[in-house]
Structure 1
Amino acid sequence: MLAKMSGKIFNLKNWQYLVSIFILVLVLGEMAGFWPVKGVQRLEWLSYDLRVQATLSHEEDPSIVLIDLDERSLAEKGQWPWPREVVAELIATLFLDYQIDLLGVDIVFAEPEGNQLALQWQQLREKFPELPEESPLPRGDALLAEVISHFPVVTGYYFQSSVTEQDPPSIGQLPAPVVVDADSELLASLPWPKPERYTSNLDVIQQEAWGGGFFDNPFVDDDGVFRRVPVLQYWEGGLYPNLPLAMIYQLLGEPPIQLDIAEGGGMQQLEGIDVGGFKIPTDARGGALVPWYGGRGHFTYVSAADVLAGRVDPAKLEGTLAIFGASAPGLMDLRSTPVASVFPGPEINASMLAGLLHQSYRAEPAYTNAAGVLLLGTLGLVITFAFPALHAVAVLVVSLALMAIHLGINFWAWQAGWVLPVASGLLLLILLAGWHLAMNFYRESREKGWVTERFGQYVPPELVEEMVDSHESFGLEGEERELTVLFSDVRGFTSFSEGIAPAELTGVMNRLLTPITQAIHAHQGTIDKYMGDAVMAFWGAPLKDEKHARHAVDGAFAMLKALEEINEVFTAEGMKPLAMGIGLNTGYMNVGNMGSEFRMAYTVMGDNVNLGSRLEGLTKPYGVKIIVSEMTAVAAPEYTYRRIDKVRVKGRSEAVTILEPLGLSSELTQETRSWLERYEKAMDTYHRAAFGQAKIQFEALKKERPEDSLPDIYLDRIAHYQAEPPGADWDGVWTHTEK
């Protein structure tokens, strides 16, 4: 049976291993990108955003300012677009009056300006057709271009990743691409963003600018949040920088831009970009994580209206790198970011520019993900094969510790500038811990159920539940407690079994002992042991029972009734009926786990236990089914008893009165009460040594109940004492020399 149970547990553990490995493969496959799961990706984004928010430096950089096209500027100068001469005035003022070093324009001038002067010239030509078609007065576009040509200005434009039939062709002129390598095939093979159209500045404006950079972002995550932006995009064989990179590129005098390409396994993968010693770690597509410094308004904002009106402290702008852009809600240049749900696009470019200057970009190269897969895979395998051997509490503690270590390593890496996946690792640990916790609880409950089922053959189920639920230790020392012990033995089992084949004897024994055991359990008894066809049981431990003697006597009668029902079945099958003798004694006994290091048993020991065994042995010579000691009779007064004898059993010098329980006092008939009264008078006469009178009384009792064997026993003793009278010191005790 134990081997069978062990096999079931082993199979259960096999399932635990298999499902754990399945969970491990599922999560690692998601991490590796084989089967992306949107929910996991969103958790990863959330963990990234939380790390960003928790580690914002809030360190101000006075070298970067934002020239803001805000609501106040629109109120003072009119709605956008402003006349180009106003923009030209703004740029000239920034450089001439406020001495900025470099200006990046986060706005595109894609359409020619139809200003009022041009309109007036056309009206004049209608009256005077001889006038030239083009006005000799400078147009706003030309004026803006003229101003830009005198200062270090980097213009902005945007690419469009996909086009529809309704979209126009590309507009304006792109600046020159950043030439990084003569190997055009290499450039084309890398997974850059490859847009399908662009919208750039008018030729006349772009040609006069120092350079240009895009400000669109094809890498916006599916939840609409800006977390990374492309550093370069590929267009018709060339690479084009984003606005912050273009500004640094021009500021450094257009140094060569180097691509950090890792090679391995016949593959080439982009890992970063170097511009004049300023490095940007990127992913394989050329995307860089935005280095956030603070919430909206972290960088210095200067209203464009204040610049034009001369209301700005020159010290705030002198020597700065400025970005001209819009934060006014109506101009639609607001983005969702990890640090704020509404964040101006120009400030994203300012963050990218600050990251370049301070070299504060965080790296997320592909091999970190591969390393994470390898590390978590190894950890997952250790968990898979270690957790089934741990208790549920240990699984929980170890899992929490591993989660803390995982978060600690991740935070350390974050502080060091590395972005490691968090959500996938936590998800793996949670799923594995949850699975093993559930299985360990289930397996332990199954094992407890098995113990209950098997141990319940010897101990009542409530005892098993108490032992399972109790926090106490059932130790080896035991304890002394008043209990009632029962011994029973089946009479004539040897002759009964002679006609039964040996192969069938075990089944017959089980059919015999099962209902007897059920009768004991039904009355809160604990099976101590089986000794062939004999049974030893006790009441009052380990569950305390104030009425242990009463319940023991109840159990004894229930055993006899169960035997009657068994005999009906056996006789119907052609087998002989069986008889049973039961002895009970109440007293203090030693109870507890007793045995050796190799085998333990919950049992009782002591002189009162031995007496109970002797009483069972006396049932046969006295011809009764149940014998109890006087201690049991006193402890169970609900029953009526008749005295059987006062005896001295083998191995015990002290005499004890033994009695036969006749039944519950409340259930005895008047006839039985009268008979018992006459019987007790005969016993009193016998113990007074009035043997002649006692003989007459016992003979009358024998005639009344011929089947009762006790009158015969006393008639034989009376004949003996009449022939050989006892001495004057006779105490009526009969000494038994056999067990």
Structure 2
Amino acid sequence: MQRRSNPIRFFLLQISISLFVTLFVLALTQDFLFELPPLKNAELSLIDLRFRKRDVPRKEKDVVIVNISSDSYTALPARWPWPISYYTKLIKNLRRAGAKVIGIDIIFPPSPGTTTKEDLEFKKTLSEFSYTVLAGKVKSEETKFTLKQADQSYGNRFIDKNIRFGIVNLPSDIDEVRRRYMPFIYDENQNLRIPTFSMAVLNAYYNLENNITAELQEGAFHYNQKTIPLYDNTSFLINYYGPDSTFPRVDIADILDDSTLTTVDEETYGTQINTFDNPEYGVLHDKILTNKIVIIGSTDPEDKDLFLAAPSIKRLEDRMMYGAEIHANVIQSIIDNNFIRRQSQLLNFFIVFGLSLFTYVLTAGLKSIRTKYSVLIEILGVALILSELFIIYWASLQLFIEQNYLTDMTSPALAVIISYVSSTIYSYVSERRQKILIKGMFSQYVNPTIVDELVAHPEKLRLGGERKEVTVFFSDIENFTQISESIQPENLVTILNEYLSEMTSIIIEHNGTLDKYEGDAIVAFWGAPLPQTDHALRACRAAVRMQRRLEELRPQWKQQGKPELKIRIGINTGEVVVGNMGGANRFDYTVIGDSVNLGSRLEGANKQYKTKIMISESTYRYAKDFIYARELDLLVVAGKTEPIRVYELVGLTEEKLSHNQEQFLRMYTKGLTHYRQRDWQTAIGAFERALDLFPDDYPCQLYIERSDLYRSSPPPEDWNGVFILKTK
């Protein structure tokens, strides 16, 4: 016992130190107790780094900016601030040009005296074109979502309850960079939630009421059937499409300069230019604004609507972006469902803990090695730390670039560094007398649903099982032996792991339970441990999705010089014994029974018909209202005496068949009916017409061959159409 106690105590010490390092790192980096500006700035800078490292997405934008620049001031006859009639004309001309929504990122401050005729005309225009959104502004006395002080017009004299508007304030981080966006604020004085400017524009775009705001539920903002991941408790991260001027711009003077307005240049040169409605080059005719969201805002630095942002550019001076462009990025990202998901704090905890434990255990193990080459051991330890830091950097960068997934970088890096320092200190304190702790650990891969079931019913941990009707699933890679002999083992393992990962994720996505891997084969089932009334349909959907996913992957594999994997799938529904089976120290949650064996036989039977997905009659009976399938045959599988009716799963009813596919199935079914009626010639004709649509269909070819045979050598009178499958 004494010999065992030291390793156990050492292991618990490693766990304790790693847990302490984890809590210490998270306290420094996650703002739980306090905020350290240097670390906070480091993490924010690393976010900006990831923006700079990715390519700017190239796509047509739904947002156009009508900018007010210094050129605009000199082009128009009136001096700034312009009369409100300019904005009335602007809205009318934008409507003529086909703008779908207009957002005016300009504050019209309250004016002393009575309401002017121009103001009334502007209000009338706003009411006529209800998809115009005004901007409101609040002072900086907000706490999270809540405004403590705000006037009812939010600084804009045209705002009232009948006008669409949103708050244009942009929250900044401690380094004054605009990375985040708040979708709404709460006005405590008026007891209502106010959408921010971009969200108010989107309300108009989606034809929603202006008072609609995103709902904060389950760690995300939910808006118009979109889920916007949280960045912090009040905002989401802006997914910038590029630097300033990424979105197309039109100068406001080009919109106002129609046949009814004379610009300074027109007055000077005595010629009408009419950049808006000139039939040859006018904005009205070039369709740039048709069905677009138009954001009107200043791009003149003197207007002070210029902010530090985090787009994909390298020079600090080029990171300045005008407010209108920031709103355009927010709007476009929501339209595109192009959001940045931030790693959860729980996941960050486990990553930091895992890295702390891994680093501490590994470096402590290295330091416990007694050798005369101790310098090499130290170099190896430093190399390990540098490698971990590089992996953290590379993985975070790739996840951001490829998946729009934002991970913390400072906390894992700190965990690695502090764990290494802790290991070094402990090694010196204990005079490096610790021995390497080797402990065999066993684990089992289980679906999260199994965990939930076992948590609710711990008694299921006993050996044995229960009878249940489930749907079992078997898949196998075609010609896997030939493939495995043609490529290097390490390459085979790589593609096999990629294949199994993709297929397993589809099984889990459809709430299936992964039973086991048997080489390249996958065994799964639906309907246990949790009951599922539609387990047959779920299995069918998963099978179709797997085939579709492989169709997507094969071109990539071909381009990479990898084999283009194809699979056969067998599905059967029936009663099985399901539960934990094995020995007292090792058991698996699995299924056994004749129904399981039949599912395996159906997978193999695909070879006879050159089909991809074969399902039993029992599975078809449960799922027939939701799938397209054709009867293949009456089979007696190996080891059985009674025939079963089998089908090929063609597709899902939620995905409409093409006209050719419908005609093909109709001809095929007609041919099979005549075949069963011994009308060989009519059957051959129907199958041949089906082959005209899909010449490579092997079941049609097979039935033509059989019909030819029976036409010359008719089967006995008691023939029932059964085919006996000799192989497994």
TM-score bracket relative to the smaller structure = 0.3 to 0.5
Bigger radius of gyration among the two: 1
TM-score (norm 1): 0.47
TM-score (norm 2): 0.47
